[in-house]
Amino acid sequence: MDSLNRVAIITGGAVGIGRAIAIELAKEGCDIVINYNTSAEKALTLVEEIEKYGRHAIAVQADVGNFEDAKRLVQAAIDQFGGINILVNNAGIVADNLMLRMTEEQFDKVINTNLKGVWNMSKHALKYLLKANQGRIINITSVSGIMGNAGQTNYSAAKAGVIGLTKALAREIASRGVTVNAVAPGFIETSMTASLPTETVESWKQDIPLKRFGSVEEIAQSVAFLASEKAAYITGHVLTVDGGIVM
């Protein structure tokens, strides 16, 4: 595997899509830094699971929306593993509401985590990625940042911002051999969608050309591809993994 002995940081890595990405990259031979904010127990359980694949892992608590927390997270990776090859900016939150009802706090909180968190992590990791073999930044955005979604002016704005950040940074550092790409998931099967009424889920599926939700593993496999040598000539790209909903 071309990922063997590389080091990957996954923000928001303890649950859901982040967890699946951590496992997939560990299977590909990466050592993993799992970032979490509040899911300490799940992060430590994931560390144990990754070690079953013969890779090393650590869990680091940090709020990536906080500049100093993000710096501390990157430093923890350097202290433990000596370098970083892959940064996956996955951490994200939602605080949905119609704009008429959305509070300034709801807007600021989502922008701070979902957009500024990507900037914070990329800023602190960049000097190490520029020294890395096959340096990769992969940002998890969303189809909401491409097509918009009612009740998500904060989330859609943040995810659209991540796309702009991805393209701008890709241009800045392409000459240094580091690629920057984004993955935009559509409707994905998670614990949140599992709790929705069946009729709501079926209604949403009718809008998806493939007529199903995606899996967290399908997102993880897309990230693993962009992190691999096979994607060495891809940068500034947004890969939609969405069943065709925004084609």
For the beta sheet containing 7-10, the strands, ordered from the edge strand earlier in sequence to the opposite edge, are 57-61, 31-36, 7-10, 86-89, 136-140, 179-185, 238-241
Respond yes or no: is residue 36 known to be catalytic: no
Closest alpha carbon to 71 in 123, 14, 36: 123
Question: Using CA atoms in the order 221, 223, 225, 229, what is the torsion angle rounded to 10 degrees?
Answer: -150
Instruction: In whole angstroms, give the CA distance from residue 114 to residue 104.
Output: 15
Catalytic residue among 36, 53, 155, 233: 155
Closest alpha carbon to 87 in 155, 186, 182: 182
Q: Which two tokens mark 155?
A: 């989330």
Phi-psi domain of 182 (left: phi exceeds 0; alpha: psi -120 through 50; beta: other): beta
C-beta separation of 131 from 83 below 8 A: yes
Task: Supply the residues annotated as catalytic.
Answer: 155
